[in-house]
Amino acid sequence: MNPRHADADALFADHLDIQLSRYFEAMESCHHDALVIAAGAAAMHFLDDMPVSFKPNPHFRLLTPLDPAEGSSIVLRPGRQPVLLHLRPRDFWHLPPEPAAGSWTAGFEIREFSSPEALQQARDDLIRGANAAAFIDPAAPVPVSLLAHLDYGRARKTPYEIACLAQANRRAAKGHRAARDAFRAGAPEFAIHMAYLAASSQEDADLPYGNIIALNEHAAVLHYQHRQRELPPGGGRSFLIDAGATERGYAADVTRTYSAEPGPFADLISALDTAQRDLVAGMVAGMDFVELHRAAHLAVGRILIDAGIAKGDADSLLESGVTGTFLPHGLGHLIGVQTHDVGGRLADAEGSLRPPPESFPALRLTRTLTEDVVVTIEPGLYFIPMLLEELRRSGEAGRIDWSTVNALIPFGGIRIEDNVQVTASGSVNLTRPALAAEGLA
């Protein structure tokens, strides 16, 4: 057995039992007596025969770590063992998948097929006689009510899922160390990205999302998507890396920011890191995430005042929208088999929504935190020219020391992000221990 899988392997059977109980409960509530969960198939590039990178339906991934799984399905019927229909095409153009193996297979009846047509026939046979079969299939209509039930409960993670998330953070930490070292050695964005992939043992297709590798002003683009091959003139002043990893489909989402030299920007990084730690330390089951997001804005307001960037008090900077210029995104989101895991704005299992307040329209998560929910906590402080120009034209412009802001614009911005498990008495940070083991904060 691979040592890095040992903990997850021991926890999978209980995880599957919990997930199946959730699915069967949701099926009963929505009056379905059969459910087909299809892994899906890779789409093709337009007018081409080359496939897009494939990621399985997350509902398929919740029930099995099977990889690769393209074309496979799971069939659920109440009172019966789940059936995994595993497609292993007879093919010489591509290497077929290996047979399903590992201790996790004990929870399934596994049938293998060499053609999609044979698998489809078996799938039809398994649901024959069902009064109301449902499909969670990328190629079929989505059962909205059923998904609402499943998505709401999915926020609470099983011990198996938390073990996978922790391992994904450990893998990401290895990449973060290599990326930091490459930045300090004077590497450009593309070389930093390649160092990350090698150290974390991943290809681009393995990543839970495209790495954000941003030097200097690029750190002010929240989802910066390019990787320059050459260093910018003057080299790297600052470096923001938002990069993750996967373990059995579960995602790590980790961000750190570095300054090449001591000075005001390095001081801001340290101040935001302290604020982020305080936000995590204050988390507990029963907390309203909207209020935690508000606390992040107040923390950013205090940092702006202490750094001489803004005048006044934190509350008035928040209410006037000044902190929103420097922190225009939400504090965090649910994380699991999807980086931005679903259900962040659900108010209940029936699908009622709790939209974000008008003052925080970008907030992805508006729920009350419950035990074993895992979220990202990622406050930021950015110098985004477009937003700064709007502030400069507003009635709040007099509260800003523009000479200080202008001096910081070339550094782009800062984000500090950890993945955090909520507990009954507080929280468990899944990211910082992994980074500490690699010599990072």
Q: Could you tell me the domains of the chain?
A: 3-154 (3.40.350.10), 159-437 (3.90.230.10)
Give the DSSP H or E segment for 251. strand 250-259
Dihedral pair phi/psi, residue 5, rounded to 5°: -100, -5
Helix (H), strand (E), coil (C) string for 359-373:
CCCCCCCCCECCCCE
Instruction: Give strand ranges (E) for 109-157.
Output: 109-113, 133-136
Number of helices (H) and strands (E) in the chain: give both, helices first.
Answer: 13, 13
Residue pLDDT, tens place only, 195-205: 999 999 999 99
Amino acid letter, 178: A
User: What is the mean pLDDT of each successive set of 10 residues along the chain, which is 441 residues long?
Assistant: 63 98 97 97 93 94 95 97 97 94 97 97 97 94 94 97 98 98 98 98 96 98 97 96 97 98 98 98 97 98 98 97 98 98 96 96 97 98 98 98 98 98 97 98 75
What integer pLDDT is reported at residue 6 of this predicted model?
56
Q: How far apart are CA 257 and CA 309, in angstroms?
A: 19
- End-to-end, the C-alpha distance of the chain in Å comes to 31
| 374 and 430 Cβ atoms separated by less than 8 Å | yes
What confidence tens digit (pLDDT) does each residue in 240-273 have?
999 999 999 999 999 999 999 999 999 999 999 9
pLDDT for residue 441: 75
Which residue in the block uniquely carries the two structure tokens 């523009």?
A: 402
- State residue 112's pLDDT score: 98
